[in-house]
Chains A and B, each alone.
Chain A
Amino acid sequence: MTDIIRRDPRAEWIARNRLHPLHAVMQAAHTVKEARWMGPNGVIRKSPHAALGFIGPNGIRRIDRSGAQQGGTTRRLGQSQETQLPLHRVDEPAFIIAVVPDMVGGRLSSHDRDLLGLAHHLAGQEGAVLAVVFGEHKETGFDTAGVDRLLQLSGHEYDGYSPEQRVLALRAVESQFLPRHWLLPDSRTGGGELGRRLAAALHERPATRVWQVKDGVCIGRAGSGSEDLTRAVPRLILASAECAEPVSETRHDAIEVMLGEGNTLRSLPRLEDLGPVAVDPALIPMAEAEFILSGGNGVQDWDLFHRAAQTLGATEGASRVAVDDGHMPRHRQVGATGTWVTARVYLAIGISGAVQHLQGIGACDKVIAVNLNAGCDMIKRADLSVIADSSAVLEALIRLVEGYRAGDWKDVA
């Protein structure tokens, strides 16, 4: 079947004129295959008389107008394209906009996506957006996030905290690609520091805490945030979250590119990373904690819960019911009337997921639920749910982690 719409004005006229001698014949022929057609203005028309819909359970004809169900007679024009976003290709980029995303936890954060959106705004049709990623990543959506070129720099010299080595690599990127702009997230999770180090190394004066870029002018916060600094867009931009809308309407190539050989020098590190230090999770403010183990009305054994939190190295949280019942202190309450948490991983034990509670975990990335009731709202929010008794799961989890710490965990993954 071709995509060209062929119209038969005479047939349409007969279809509209119910007194026409041929009407009944033509309609009968049409209803089979023409329950919807393209009107003269390009609008899809549906015939309510045609045999569309289906016979409902009590024998009444039901018509679903959402377009989801159209019997077997519909011409599925362009259906397959709808799910795939249009591809934006830049084969011969006139210039490069380089973005160095934070990749917290190996994935693009929402801040990174905003930044890629800003990069596309700056790249327009001719430029290409180059994302520079250090180390291994778990991201699969570079194409829909707006990455035209992807440069992955892996190697153990970039492991851990290695800002000086990374700046060296970015200087190599600078000399190879000569990006028109450098964009980094002005975040505490790495971008703010790396961007400033890069600025000092390239002798560029960056615009910092930028929240708007428009018509060659950028606005960023200054001082302690009570003033705005407006200036012409510099080469290096450190942008805040929500500086632009993320890319959502196009798909991109995300072609892998390489750094030329011999470009990456090794430096003798003046800063040596001796690894993370164990911090008592109970002392971390809950709003900031990265990993929260939260208990609700479904926790039977609170001693076990505390032991689990200690073994996992998680900060403790609680639902309001657990707090009201006196199992947890008030400052541990998560939710609308408690603390709004930002944990990357939120492990909810026996919490039903009332709206007031779900509001408080809106910013959490990965939610894991343990609950007996598979129909509760927390399960709908969770990325992983285990339908089992809380005490049994906590005990098994403690055993696993202790075994892992003792070194006999075999990597089954």
Chain B
Amino acid sequence: MADVSLEVITLVSVGAHPTSGRARRAEQDARAVELGLHLAGNRLQLLHAGNPYEEALRGYLGMGIPALHVLEQPKGADALPVLVDYLREASVQVVLTGTQAETGEGSGMLPYLLAEALGWPLVVGLAEVETIEGGSAQVLQALPRGQRRRLRVRLPFVASVDNAAPVARQSAFGPARRGQIEVQEVEVVDDILLSESTLQPSRPRPKRLKVIKAKTAADRFRAATAKASGDGGQILRDVTPEAGAEAIFKLLREEGVIR
């Protein structure tokens, strides 16, 4: 359903392989690119703020996009202001991002701050764009537990993409080599966070201990030997199946699982 008039831009970052830590195209960003390709075909624009000579960026070009625009910045610079400046001028209707960066702070704040700075609405966890017409889009949002919600959102908007979005196509070597990386010089704004905090390899989190708070030894003994038994669930004996089913149905409705 590639739309010829729709201007879509996907923000991409450099990811890290979960085991080896090697630079690669980021998983969620690649999904955002895939979604952008569904929306705008190969008129999709890609934008990155950072080092233009990073080889991993070519992974996105290998998905069949002719060019990637880079706002050149050193490591540790704040990407937000330059991205906001660029997007204000770019006259796009949809900005797609991943949910969380794979390196650095990875706070997942970027789409929120972008939307706030641009004054655009934000869709979190975009799974699918159904229709775009008359200045608004009808989209599906991914919820936990595999659920979906339909939203209508005004254009232009920012959307973040998580693992519920379509799986990214493979990156092909030829197009990745041929693709153009356009570099633009921008003003550098330092990110103060990294100067006042430290990044370390993650420590394993302490396991939560099962603490038994009992006043007497007898209570402790009982707690340690007790079988995991529910405390007093309701038991319906000698009821007709209809009455039983009604009780179940009532509980299911209270829990909101019957739609």
Contact among A105, A344, A380, A393 for B245, CB-based, below 8 A: A393
User: Which of A29-37, A223-231, A298-306, A316-324 lines the interface with chain B?
Assistant: A223-231
> Cβ of A10 < 8 Å from any Cβ of B?
no
> Cβ of A336 < 8 Å from any Cβ of B?
no
Please state if B124 and A290 are interface contacts (CB–CB under 8 Å): no
- Chain A contacts for B238, CB-based, 8 A: 387
Contact among A197, A199, A290, A312 for B122, CB-based, below 8 A: A197
Contact among A226, A290, A392 for B257, CB-based, below 8 A: A290
Please state if A199 and B112 are interface contacts (CB–CB under 8 Å): yes
Q: Tell me the bound Cα distance from A395 to B104 in angstroms.
A: 55
> Cβ of A90 < 8 Å from any Cβ of B?
no
User: Which of A149-157, A203-211, A252-260 lines the interface with chain B?
Assistant: A203-211
> Cβ of B201 < 8 Å from any Cβ of A?
yes
> Cβ of B149 < 8 Å from any Cβ of A?
yes
Over the window 161-205 of chain B, the binary record of Cβ atoms lying under 8 Å from chain A Cβ atoms (1 yes, 0 no) is: 000000000000000000000000000000001001111111101
Given the interface contacts A224-B18, A383-B230, does A288 sit within 8 Å of B145 by beta carbon? Answer: yes
Interchain nearest-CB distance for B148 vs A (Å): 4
Please state if B236 and A344 are interface contacts (CB–CB under 8 Å): no
Closest to A393 in B: B241
Please state if A274 and B150 are interface contacts (CB–CB under 8 Å): yes
- Chain A contacts for B145, CB-based, 8 A: 284, 288-290
> Cβ of A161 < 8 Å from any Cβ of B?
yes
Please state if A413 and B199 are interface contacts (CB–CB under 8 Å): no
User: Which of A11-19, A50-58, A176-184, A366-374 lines the interface with chain B?
Assistant: A366-374
> Cβ of A5 < 8 Å from any Cβ of B?
no
Given the interface contacts A270-B154, A383-B234, does A228 sit within 8 Å of B201 by beta carbon? Answer: yes
Over the window 109-131 of chain B, the binary record of Cβ atoms lying under 8 Å from chain A Cβ atoms (1 yes, 0 no) is: 10011011000011111000000
Closest to A369 in B: B233
Given the interface contacts A66-B216, A230-B197, A401-B258, does A384 sit within 8 Å of B233 by beta carbon? Answer: yes
Please state if B113 and A388 are interface contacts (CB–CB under 8 Å): no
Contact among B100, B123, B227, B237 for A387, CB-based, below 8 A: B237
Q: Tell me the bound Cα distance from A313 to B249 in angstroms.
A: 13
- Chain B contacts for A393, CB-based, 8 A: 241, 244-245, 248
User: Which of A125-133, A139-147, A275-283, A327-335 lines the interface with chain B?
Assistant: A275-283
Interchain nearest-CB distance for B145 vs A (Å): 4
- Chain B contacts for A413, CB-based, 8 A: 250
Over the window 219-234 of chain B, the binary record of Cβ atoms lying under 8 Å from chain A Cβ atoms (1 yes, 0 no) is: 0000000011110011
Please state if A272 and B249 are interface contacts (CB–CB under 8 Å): no
- Chain B contacts for A232, CB-based, 8 A: 196-197
> Cβ of B55 < 8 Å from any Cβ of A?
no
Q: Tell me the bound Cα distance from A366 to B237 in angstroms.
A: 19
Q: Identify which of A197, A222, A223 gathers the most chain B CB atoms within 10 Å of its CB.
A: A223
- Chain A contacts for B104, CB-based, 8 A: 222-223
Closest to A396 in B: B245
Contact among B112, B116, B241 for A395, CB-based, below 8 A: B241
Q: Identify which of A229, A249, A314, A382 gathers the most chain B CB atoms within 10 Å of its CB.
A: A229
Interchain nearest-CB distance for A342 vs B (Å): 8
Contact among A345, A380, A404 for B230, CB-based, below 8 A: A380
Given the interface contacts A66-B216, A279-B148, A384-B251, does A223 sit within 8 Å of B234 by beta carbon? Answer: no
> Cβ of B103 < 8 Å from any Cβ of A?
yes
Q: Tell me the bound Cα distance from A232 to B193 in angstroms.
A: 10
> Cβ of A49 < 8 Å from any Cβ of B?
no
> Cβ of A379 < 8 Å from any Cβ of B?
yes
Closest to B211 in A: A245
Contact among B138, B147, B215, B242 for A290, CB-based, below 8 A: B147
> Cβ of A111 < 8 Å from any Cβ of B?
no
Q: Tell me the bound Cα distance from A162 to B144 in angstroms.
A: 17
- Chain B contacts for A163, CB-based, 8 A: 124
> Cβ of A408 < 8 Å from any Cβ of B?
no
Given the interface contacts A312-B258, A313-B258, A400-B245, does A223 sit within 8 Å of B102 by beta carbon? Answer: yes
Interchain nearest-CB distance for B240 vs A (Å): 8
> Cβ of B108 < 8 Å from any Cβ of A?
yes
Closest to B162 in A: A188
- Chain A contacts for B152, CB-based, 8 A: 271-272, 274
- Chain B contacts for A212, CB-based, 8 A: 205
Q: Tell me the bound Cα distance from A221 to B201 in angstroms.
A: 9
> Cβ of A171 < 8 Å from any Cβ of B?
no
Q: Tell me the bound Cα distance from A272 to B199 in angstroms.
A: 39
- Chain A contacts for B103, CB-based, 8 A: 223-224
Q: Tell me the bound Cα distance from A381 to B230 in angstroms.
A: 5
Please state if A396 and B149 are interface contacts (CB–CB under 8 Å): no
Given the interface contacts A223-B103, A290-B257, does A312 sit within 8 Å of B241 by beta carbon? Answer: no
Given the interface contacts A200-B109, A222-B105, A226-B202, does A271 sit within 8 Å of B116 by beta carbon? Answer: no
Closest to B252 in A: A345
- Chain A contacts for B143, CB-based, 8 A: 188, 276
- Chain A contacts for B100, CB-based, 8 A: 224
Interchain nearest-CB distance for A183 vs B (Å): 16
Given the interface contacts A197-B122, A275-B150, A381-B230, does A230 sit within 8 Å of B198 by beta carbon? Answer: yes
Closest to A194 in B: B124
> Cβ of B259 < 8 Å from any Cβ of A?
yes
- Chain B contacts for A284, CB-based, 8 A: 145-147
Q: Tell me the bound Cα distance from A224 to B17 in angstroms.
A: 9
Closest to A232 in B: B196
Given the interface contacts A66-B218, A400-B246, does A379 sit within 8 Å of B235 by beta carbon? Answer: yes
Interchain nearest-CB distance for B161 vs A (Å): 14
Q: Tell me the bound Cα distance from A401 to B246 in angstroms.
A: 10
Please state if B146 and A283 are interface contacts (CB–CB under 8 Å): yes
Q: Tell me the bound Cα distance from A402 to B241 in angstroms.
A: 16
Please state if B228 and A358 are interface contacts (CB–CB under 8 Å): yes
Please state if A278 and B259 are interface contacts (CB–CB under 8 Å): yes
Q: Tell me the bound Cα distance from A348 to B240 in angstroms.
A: 18
List of 3 A-B pairs having minimum Cβ-Cβ separation, nearest first? A231-B197, A392-B241, A396-B245
Given contacts A231-B197, A291-B252, A393-B244, 8 further A-B contacts (CB under 8 A): A228-B200, A229-B199, A276-B150, A288-B146, A312-B257, A380-B227, A381-B230, A388-B244
